[in-house]
Amino acid sequence: MSPEESPAQKPKRNFVVAIDGPAGAGKSTIARHLARHYGLLNLETGAMYRAFALKALRSEVPVNDASALERLAAETDIQLESGETENRVLLDSEDVTGQIRNQTVTDAASRVSIHPAVRASMVKRQQEMATKGGVVMEGRDIGTVVFPDAEVKIFLDAAPEVRGMRRYDQTAQKGTPSAPPEEVIRDLRARDERDRNRADSPLRPATDAFLLDSTNLTLDEVLKEAESAVDRFLAKTSTSLQSQG
Ligand code: DC
């Protein structure tokens, strides 16, 4: 049985908006907006893989050593706290929010996340997070594996060149030194390759996801489309987001 067909989630959960898509598609911006607009918790699952990658790097566990990573995951605590602008990420109670976005961790996160045992451990924690309140959860496998029965699923995509340039511009705006655009795009393609081709939970749209390609859309247009997807669900069910069980 594929994960998408598996029976209902074990923990009793609340309303879920699942946002999946490749790196640089704008998931975080959309997720943040929807969370604010509908009063939901905004949870970035990529930050969990990043925090775990940081732990592997610090512990000098090779990113290709599946059994050592499995043991490491079992003894690692990762907490995400929904914030106004970004998630606060606690790794074994240490705030590592500012340490997980550099190139070394980005690359390691992409590599540790191919291992099924690492994924299973993260997915379990993610499912538990939706027992506390309604969530907008973003990642690569939220609509296919973590919450195959999510109320709303959005798959956000854009051409690699567009995503790469957006990433480059974001970094430049922050005043942080960045690799040249060609390198950013090349790196993004390499991560896409790994995400889409891994055996366990590859990046792909759920069959019932709303596909939103932002290549030729302004941010405003994308936000409106995403809101419409949630509104369509609400109109269909006439339910309040907070009280969904
Ligand atoms: O979204 P991000 O770039 O912060 O994610 C970091 C890495 O984690 C990315 O290379 C893919 C992986 N990831 C994943 O495999 N599944 C998720 N649900 C979220 C992220």
Q: Which of 29, 9, 11 is nearest to 143 (CA)?
A: 9
Tokens at residue 140, please? 């690569």
Order of strands across the sheet that contains 135-139:
41-44, 135-139, 16-20, 152-157, 210-213
Cα of 15 to ligand 1 centre, how many Å? 22
Atom 2 of ligand 1: nearest residue by CA position: 46
- Lowest average pLDDT, out of 17-31, 138-152, 167-181, 186-200, goes to 167-181
Cα of 38 to ligand 1 centre, how many Å? 24
Residue to mutate (ligand 1; options 49, 195, 201, 204; most atoms within 8 A of CB):
49
Helix 103-112 crosses helix 181-197 at what angle (to 10 degrees)?
20
14-233: what fold?
Answer: Rossmann fold (3.40.50)
Chain segment 204-232, per-residue pLDDT in tens = 999 999 999 999 999 999 999 999 999 99
Cα of 196 to ligand 1 centre, how many Å? 11
Chain segment 156-205, per-residue pLDDT in tens = 999 999 999 988 888 888 887 788 999 999 999 998 999 999 999 999 99
Buried b / exposed e across 167-177, counting CB within 10 Å, b at 16+? bbeeeeeeeee
Cα of 107 to ligand 1 centre, how many Å? 10
Alpha helices (H) along the chain: 27-38, 45-58, 66-74, 103-112, 116-129, 160-174, 181-197, 219-237
Atom 11 of ligand 1: nearest residue by CA position: 110
Task: Give the integer Cα–Cα distance in Å for 198 and 205.
Answer: 15
Atom 4 of ligand 1: nearest residue by CA position: 46
Atom 13 of ligand 1: nearest residue by CA position: 46
CB 184 within 8 A of CB 174: no
**Using alpha carbons only, how large is the chain's radius of gyration in Å?**
17
Atom 20 of ligand 1: nearest residue by CA position: 46
Chain segment 50-107, per-residue pLDDT in tens = 999 999 999 999 999 999 999 999 999 999 998 778 899 999 999 999 999 999 999 9
Atom from ligand 1 closest to the CA of residue 194 = 10
Average pLDDT, integer, range 46-52: 98
CB under 6 Å to ligand 1: residues? 23, 45-46, 49-50, 109-110, 113, 139-141, 191, 195
Q: Which of 108, 104, 103, 102 is nearest to 49 (CA)?
A: 108
Cα of 109 to ligand 1 centre, how many Å? 7
Atom 9 of ligand 1: nearest residue by CA position: 110
> Three-state DSSP class for 244?
coil
Where do the structural domains in the chain lie, given as residue ranges? 14-233
Q: Which of 102, 105, 127, 109 is nearest to 46 (CA)?
A: 109
